[in-house]
Each structure stands twice: as structure tokens, then as C-alpha cells.
């Protein structure tokens, strides 16, 4: 997996594309539907191992992004990022629900009822994979651009909104009633954890890591930083938030320490090993056999999948125009919000496991997830090459 991922990433870069695109394609080739090397079936004993390595990889990736995040610069785009996130969630959700309630999709794919399935389909379209976009921005060196800060800020807010939507969708899946109090609690926990963790951590971390830095043991600083990432990720998960939010918070916290540069340098070799596993695992989840256009059984899946791909891309693209009062590369911001990645897979898997989504609808959502994930990196690079970036932005 590691060697194939690195070689595929190198080939992608040789043809002018981000390395993550090569890693995703490598995952598809190594997945169960082609070569069958990467296990994805729940009953396979190695699937849990791959999942653990992938989760570690995305946690380290978000930690690295957090280390490079300037809180003051991020704060200057807070309102704009929130607008991008809200539009990027609301528009795909509404379009997805309206599409499923229309006569266009086949009614035989709806279970147990049309409205519930429509909500699940719309929810699956709202997710944004911050890990994929962050990796592309880092490779293109646009993390410090206004567009990069907008995308990352909006993606973090998008994750918070995604947790709320996932909570509602899970309640529907189990037959429970949706309560305003439950939705508000999920939102408060996700936002509260991030705010409190960063506020408290920025006060404690410099003192703790000043002591760690004086220790003479080999790798003490590096191991302490890695343990801090795991701790924040675990606490976020236990609090009902997402582990990637905890990992991102750990990076933001340690970016304010005197050891931030050393931690960043020493974390890169670890990220080089674990992060590709995350992208390979996303590609491995694709079953290309279900997308065979010559198989009559696949045509409904492909038709619904194509419609969801269009809705998924356009729904996120319009978020780039959610901030009319600022000037920036709107195409880049909209396309940067497009990849669904692992978050969309989670929504689809829950719907399939409880019987709300049929296998055809699951395959269609999976197609949307893979297509948006694959096309976003090259389109994002094209958007920056075509319209440039805003590297300096000091306005409030």
C-alpha cells in the first residue's frame, strides 16, 4: 500500500496533478473490486487495522494543518468562512431532498419511505472532507492565501454542521424522534469542545512543552506532541465531537508554543507514512463493478449517481459566491469544498446498514463520493492557475 501510494503520487505529480489524486486512484486499484489487496469487508480481520491506520493518518494530517494555522488570520475570515460553510451545507441538502422527492429517481429504491430516504440522500451530499482539500492546499502552498483560510475555516465549521446532521440522520435511522434539544446539544458540544480546548490549551501547552523541551531523551518532544494529538482526538470523540476536530485543535494549540517549528519538522516523517493510508483506504472503498454501464442492473445506480454528482459539485461550487462583500478566487473556494471523502462514506454506510438506503442508492452515493473526491484536486489546481490567489488580506 505504502509503496504503491507513493509511486502513484509521484506519477500524478509528474503529470502536473496533486499527489493525493494518485493515492486515491491507487486505492481504487488495490481495493477489493480490482486487485483485492486492501481489505474493506467488515468481517475481514485486517479491516480494523487499516481503519486504525487511516484514522491515525487523517488525525496527523489535521494536526499538521492546525500547526500551520494562524488563528488571527483565521479570525479575520470567520464570518466569511461561516457563510461559505452554511451555504455549502444548505444548498446540496435542499437540492438532494428535492431531487429525491421528484419523479426523477426510481421509487423502487426508496425505503422505508420517500421522505426519510430523501433526508438521508440530502445529508450525504452535505459533507466535506477537509483532509483532502487541506492536503491539496498544502501541496500547492496556498494554505496562507485568503482562499486557503476560507476553505479550512469553512471546512471546520462544515464538520460541526455535519455532526449535527449526522445526529439527526442517525435518529431517523433508529426510528427515534428528533428533538430540538438534542440537535442543539450536538452543536454546542462540537463548538464548545473546539473553543474550550484551544482556549485552555493555549495557556497550558507552552508551559508543559517548555519542560518537555529540556528533557534529553531521544524523541521526547516528538512523542509528547504525538501523544497530545491522540489525547485531544480521543477527548473530542468522547465528547461527541469528531476526532479530526480534536486533532486540528491540538495543532492550533501547539502552534502557539516555542517548539512549534521543531514539532512540525519532526512530525512530517510520521505523516508521510500514515497519511497516504487514509487516502488509499478511501479509494479502496469504491466498487467499480457496480458502475459497469454494460450491466443492466447498474444503470439505475449510474443514473442516480450521475445526478448526485452534478448536485454535489454545483451545491458546493455556489458556496464560493456566499461572500459577495469580499474579493477572492470564488471558483477555488467552491471547488475546495467539493470532495466528500470519508465523511460521505460514513453517511452512506449508516443508511445502508439500517435499511434506509438500498444497495442501488448506496452505490450511487458512493459514486458521488468517489467522483467529487477525484475531480476536486485537479479542478482546484486549475482554478488557482486560472484565477490566482489572494496572498495578502489584512482587512477585518
Cα(115)–Cα(93) distance, integer angstroms? 13
Three-state secondary structure of 358-394:
CHHHHHHHHHHHHHHHHHHHHHHHHHHHHHCCCCCCC
Residue 110: its pLDDT value, please?
Answer: 47
The pLDDT averaged over each successive group of 10 residues in the chain (396 residues) is: 91 79 86 83 83 87 79 74 90 91 68 72 82 76 83 78 67 62 71 83 88 85 90 85 80 86 86 87 78 78 89 92 88 88 67 72 82 84 86 48
Report which DSSP code applies to 219: T
- The candidate with the shortest Cα–Cα distance to 392, out of 46, 126, 64, 146, is 146
Cα(38)–Cα(196) distance, integer angstroms? 39
Residue 229: its pLDDT value, please?
Answer: 92
pTM of the model: 0.70
Helices (H), the chain: 2-14, 19-30, 47-67, 71-76, 78-101, 114-124, 130-140, 146-173, 180-213, 220-238, 243-254, 260-284, 296-317, 330-336, 341-353, 359-387
Give Cβ neighbours of residue 207 (< 8 Å, ≥ 6 apart).
none
In contact, 260 and 254? CB cutoff 8 Å: yes
Question: How far is C-alpha 15 from the chain's CA centre?
Answer: 25
Give Cβ neighbours of residue 135 (< 8 Å, ≥ 6 apart).
18, 19, 20, 61, 275, 279
Cα(360)–Cα(245) distance, integer angstroms? 32
Residue 346: its pLDDT value, please?
Answer: 65
CATH 3.90.280.10 correct for 2-386: no
Amino acid at each position: 500500500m505504502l509503496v504503491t501510494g507513493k509511486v502513484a503520487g509521484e506519477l500524478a505529480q509528474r503529470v502536473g496533478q496533486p499527489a493525493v489524486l494518485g493515492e486515491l486512484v491507487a486505492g481504487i486499484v488495490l481495493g477489493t473490486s480490482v486487485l483485492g489487496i486492501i481489505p474493506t469487508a467488515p468481517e475481514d480481520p485486517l479491516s480494523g487495522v487499516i481503519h486504525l491506520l487511516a484514522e491515525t493518518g487523517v488525525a496527523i494530517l489535521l494536526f499538521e494543518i492546525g500547526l500551520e494555522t494562524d488563528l488571527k488570520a483565521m479570525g479575520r475570515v470567520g464570518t466569511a468562512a461561516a457563510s461559505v460553510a452554511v451555504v455549502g451545507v444548505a444548498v446540496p441538502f435542499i437540492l438532494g431532498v428535492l431531487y429525491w422527492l421528484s419523479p426523477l429517481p426510481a421509487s423502487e429504491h426508496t425505503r422505508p419511505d420517500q421522505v426519510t430516504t430523501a433526508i438521508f440522500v440530502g445529508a450525504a451530499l452535505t459533507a466535506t472532507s477537509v483532509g483532502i482539500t487541506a492536503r491539496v492546499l498544502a501541496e500547492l502552498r496556498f494554505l496562507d492565501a485568503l482562499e486557503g483560510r476560507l476553505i479550512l475555516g469553512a471546512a471546520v465549521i462544515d464538520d460541526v454542521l455535519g455532526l449535527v446532521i449526522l445526529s439527526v440522520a442517525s435518529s431517523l435511522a433508529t426510528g427515534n424522534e428528533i428533538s430540538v434539544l438534542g440537535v442543539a446539544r450536538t452543536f454546542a458540544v462540537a463548538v464548545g469542545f473546539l473553543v474550550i480546548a484551544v482556549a485552555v490549551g493555549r495557556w497550558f501547552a507552552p508551559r508543559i512543552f517548555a519542560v518537555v523541551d529540556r528533557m534529553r531523551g531521544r524523541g521526547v518532544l516528538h512523542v509528547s506532541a504525538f501523544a497530545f494529538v491522540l489525547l485531544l482526538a480521543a477527548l473530542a470523540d468522547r465528547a461527541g465531537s469528531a476526532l479530526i476536530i480534536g486533532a486540528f485543535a491540538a495543532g492550533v494549540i501547539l502552534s502557539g508554543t516555542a517548539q512549534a517549528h521543531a514539532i512540525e519538522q519532526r512530525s512530517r516523517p510520521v505523516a508521510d507514512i500514515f497519511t497516504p493510508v487514509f487516502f488509499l483506504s478511501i479509494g479502496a472503498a469504491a466498487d467499480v463493478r457496480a458502475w459497469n454501464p454494460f450491466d443492466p442492473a447498474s444503470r439505475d445506480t449510474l443514473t442516480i449517481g450521475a445526478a448526485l454528482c452534478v448536485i454535489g459539485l454545483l451545491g458546493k461550487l455556489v458556496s464560493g459566491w456566499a461572500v459577495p462583500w469580499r474579493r477572492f478566487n470564488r471558483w477555488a473556494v467552491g471547488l475546495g469544498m467539493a470532495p466528500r471523502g470519508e465523511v460521505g462514506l460514513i453517511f452512506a454506510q449508516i443508511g445502508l446498514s439500517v435499511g434506509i438506503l438500498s444497495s442501488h442508492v448506496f452505490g450511487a452515493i458512493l459514486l458521488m463520493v468517489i467522483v467529487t473526491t477525484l475531480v476536486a484536486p485537479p479542478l482546484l489546481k486549475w482554478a488557482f492557475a486560472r484565477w490566482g490567489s489572494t496572498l495578502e488580506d489584512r482587512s477585518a
